[in-house]
Amino acid sequence: MPTSVTINGTAHSVDLPGDVPLLWVLRDEIGLTGTKYGCGVAACGACTVHIDGVAVRSCQMALEDVDGAVTTIEGLGTPDAMSALQAAWAEHQVAQCGYCQSGQIMQAASLLSDIPAPTDSDIDEAMQGNLCRCGTYPRIRAAIHAAAAKMQEV
């Protein structure tokens, strides 16, 4: 029996077993490859998406447990413009290899929705489960602060 799931504002009917991880629904069924497979055990954060604005690890979220609208990195900005967070990421040249960046940005977006003007401590606490093999943590923090400032101007 097909399951209905809303992803980036679009309803999708998915005919997969309920125990299939949301990550594979997004990548293999829907074709949204911005969300990355990292570790498969929710330890690295590369697969972070939002469900009703809350950051979750899609590799460990079963399709049958999705209860709300899913937002992926593809749904964060618009086709014509990056979100303030994505723009700050580019401005601060955060990405090196880039593999973890969609998960980092999604985690940071969740942080900024909860705490619009985070301190370094807030950022460190919120981002601690998102690993960056390249070690761009200082640039990640700077980009989050820049995005927070830009978002408060609006």
Q: What is the pLDDT of residues 74-125, one digit of tens each?
A: 999 877 778 899 999 999 999 999 899 999 999 999 999 999 999 999 999 9
- Report how far apart, in Å, the C-alpha atoms of 60 and of each of 9, 78, 83, 95, 116 are: 22, 27, 26, 25, 28
Q: What digits encode the pLDDT tens for the residues 24-81?
A: 999 999 999 999 999 999 999 999 999 999 999 999 999 999 999 999 999 998 777 7
Domains and CATH numbers, the chain: 3-75 (3.10.20.30), 84-153 (1.10.150.120)
Going by C-alpha positions, the residue among 35, 77, 74, 87 that lies closest to residue 56 is 35
pLDDT, averaged across the chain: 94
Question: Cα torsion for 140, 66, 83, 32, to the nearest 10°?
Answer: 90
Please give the pLDDT value at position 154: 67
Rounded to whole angstroms, the Cα distance separating 49 from 23 reads: 9
d(CA 127, CA 36): 17
Task: Tell me the pTM.
Answer: 0.93
